[in-house]
A and B are shown apart, each in its own frame.
Chain A
Amino acid sequence: EAGVAQSPRYKIIEKRQSVAFWCNPISGHATLYWYQQILGQGPKLLIQFQNNGVVDDSQLPKDRFSAERLKGVDSTLKIQPAKLEDSAVYLCASSPPEGSGRGQYFGPGTRLTVL
């Protein structure tokens, strides 16, 4: 099966600019996650979708970050405006239907550098 796809793989922007990341989960995976991983730290969950509904966005900085999954398939994460501390790897993951016990599948990540 095809894995979780993310684009772009790398992005360099200046502070106060906007940026958007795209994720296409594994076909049939209802749950989609966006994580932020700052260098030297473990991933931090930003937002979790179940189909096109938000399950958990408690750690999403909503003043500048937004995410959507309009048709319950692919998703976009946007930062507007970006700050220096947003430099990180943004990981997308998806998981099979509840109860399958097969964990989360991660994409290759997007490395964002804010100058």
Chain B
Amino acid sequence: KNEVEQSPQNLTAQEGEFITINCSYSVGISALHWLQQHPGGGIVSLFMLSSGKKKHGRLIATINIQEKHSSLHITASHPRDSAVYICAVSRLKGNTDKLIFGTGTRLQVFP
């Protein structure tokens, strides 16, 4: 079993829909990251959170430490949101940060 599980693996939506991507983890963490990867391969960090909720534009990320679960929400989705969304957790190893990645959720938003 992977230490970080995401669902769904693939998601299609119509423009304007509200989207939720879920992430569960089974290890102790110092922080959880939501990352966005476009087809070219580069990764952009969307959020890093260790408790509660963060919002940036149409994106909202929440985390429940007790339940070891996080969600990424996209409101009023748009075709440019089409990408792979990756959940990763940070584990402190010595003095540095070790990331454990989920396998990603591929989102396609159609006009």
Contacts and interface: CB of A to CB of B under 8 A. Distances in A.
Interface of B: 4, 31, 33, 35, 40-45, 48, 86, 88, 90, 93-99, 101-104
Given A41-B103, A42-B102, A108 B94 contact: no
Interface of A: 9, 31, 33, 37, 40-45, 48, 50, 55-56, 89, 91, 93, 95, 98, 101-111
Contacts of B97: 31, 95, 98, 103-104
Contacts of B94: 55
11 contacts: A31-B97, A55-B94, A91-B43, A98-B96, A98-B97, A101-B31, A103-B45, A103-B90, A104-B99, A105-B45, A106-B35
B48 A31 contact: no
A98 B96 CA distance: 6
